[in-house]
């Protein structure tokens, strides 16, 4: 099973930048998208279907905002939109698909960048999402949790940890939540294989950040411990440029 997580910063915008051509190259069996920024009727389903992927999407109620999707060549036995929490579901932040005994959860975490109220909601959302994951794990212990987390876990995951220590996405409380996640039976699959610095998945649009690789690693594919033995390969793909993010890849053994 080959999985990609990718914040496309608008699915229609990505399509104009060659996204469909990239899909035709068969980059993965399952591709989880965040920030699709499209209502259900505006998702280019037919164009994506033509590349070999089935589309399951969950849009925000607000037009042009948030939203997640799963593109897959493998047939899921179950797809659930949302996690049952009113505000999170109104913002189209979570979609789940079950493939055999493996549950895949694709999530777009709140960013907190637009003010104190949103930062407070981010903390609320993190607590609620952690509880949701633990509830799912009781009956579905083999889990993959991927998406744009909008959090750098450690100093190695951000180009300038000193100057960014007071910025949302690298605040102590956010990083502590990541500590809690990885301390409770979830595995950071990229760091399982790669301990090198300067590995990022998002870059600011300003100041030549991407060209100079001044980025943040905020996109993750994490698994629960029962899947750790199946980890085969993980990488970040900064050469793919449909978005200000890039894809993150994981391959599991059969």
Q: What's 247's DSSP letter?
A: -
CB atoms within 10 A of CB 4: 22
Give yes or no for residue 254 having a pLDDT over 90: no
Question: Which residue of the set 42, 134, 148, 160 is catalytic?
Answer: 148
CATH of the domain at 183: 3.60.10.10
In tens, the pLDDT along 198-223 reads 999 999 999 999 999 999 999 999 99
For 39, half-sphere exposure in the C-beta direction (CA atoms, 13 angstrom radius) is 4
* Residue 107: φ, ψ to 5°: -135, 145
- 209-216 long-range contacts, Cβ below 8 Å, gap at least 24? 210/238, 210/244, 213/159, 213/238, 214/159, 214/160, 215/158, 215/159, 216/152, 216/157, 216/158, 216/159, 216/169, 216/170
195 pLDDT above the threshold of 90: yes
DSSP 99-128: ETTEEEEEEE----TT-HHHHHHHHHHHHH
DSSP string for 161-190: TTTTTTSTTS-HHHHHHHHHHHTTTEEEHH
List, for residues 20-36, the tens digit of each pLDDT value: 999 999 999 999 999 99
* Helix, strand or coil, per DSSP, at residue 15: helix
What's the confidence (pLDDT) of residue 115? 82
Query: What are the pLDDT digits (tens) for 162-176?
Result: 999 999 999 999 999
Strands 102-108 and 142-148, bridge-based pairing: parallel
Q: What's the first-to-final CA gap in the chain, in angstroms?
A: 7
* Average pLDDT of the segment spanning 229-235: 98
Query: Per-residue pLDDT averaged across 81-92, rounded?
Result: 97
pLDDT of residue 239: 97
Of the chain, the percentage scoring pLDDT greater than 90 comes to 98
Cβ atoms of residues 159 and 214 within 8 Å: yes
At 56, which helix (H) or strand (E)? strand 54-58
DSSP state of 158: B
148 among known catalytic residues: yes
Q: Domain range holding 196?
A: 2-252
User: How many separate domains does the chain show?
Assistant: 1
CA 102/CA 128 separation, integer angstroms: 22
How far is Cα 3 from Cα 234, in angstroms, rounded to an integer?
Answer: 9
């Amino acid at each position: 099973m080959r999985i990609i997580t990718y914040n496309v910063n608008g699915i229609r915008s990505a399509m104009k930048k060659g996204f469909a051509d990239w899909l035709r190259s068969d980059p993965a069996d399952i591709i989880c998208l965040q920030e699709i920024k499209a209502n259900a009727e505006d998702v280019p389903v037919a164009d994506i279907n033509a590349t070999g992927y089935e589309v399951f999407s969950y849009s925000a109620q607000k037009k042009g905002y948030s939203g997640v999707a799963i593109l897959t060549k493998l047939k899921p036995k179950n797809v659930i939109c949302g996690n049952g929490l009113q505000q999170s579901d109104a913002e189209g932040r979570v979609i789940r698909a079950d493939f055999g005994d493996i549950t895949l959860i694709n999530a777009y975490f709140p960013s907190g960048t637009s003010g104190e109220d949103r930062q407070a909601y981010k903390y609320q959302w993190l607590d609620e999402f952690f509880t949701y994951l633990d509830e799912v794990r009781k009956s579905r212990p083999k889990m993959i949790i991927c998406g744009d987390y909008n959090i750098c876990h450690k100093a190695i995951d951000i180009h300038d940890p000193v100057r960014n220590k007071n910025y949302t996405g690298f605040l102590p409380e956010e990083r502590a939540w990541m500590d809690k996640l990885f301390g409770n039976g979830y595995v950071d699959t990229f760091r399982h294989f790669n301990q090198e610095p300067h590995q990022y998945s998002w870059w600011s649009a300003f100041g030549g950040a991407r060209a100079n690789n001044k980025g943040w690693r905020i996109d993750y594919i994490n698994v629960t411990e029962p899947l750790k033995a199946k980890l085969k390969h993980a990488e970040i793909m900064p050469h793919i440029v449909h978005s200000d993010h890039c894809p993150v890849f994981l391959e599991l053994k059969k």
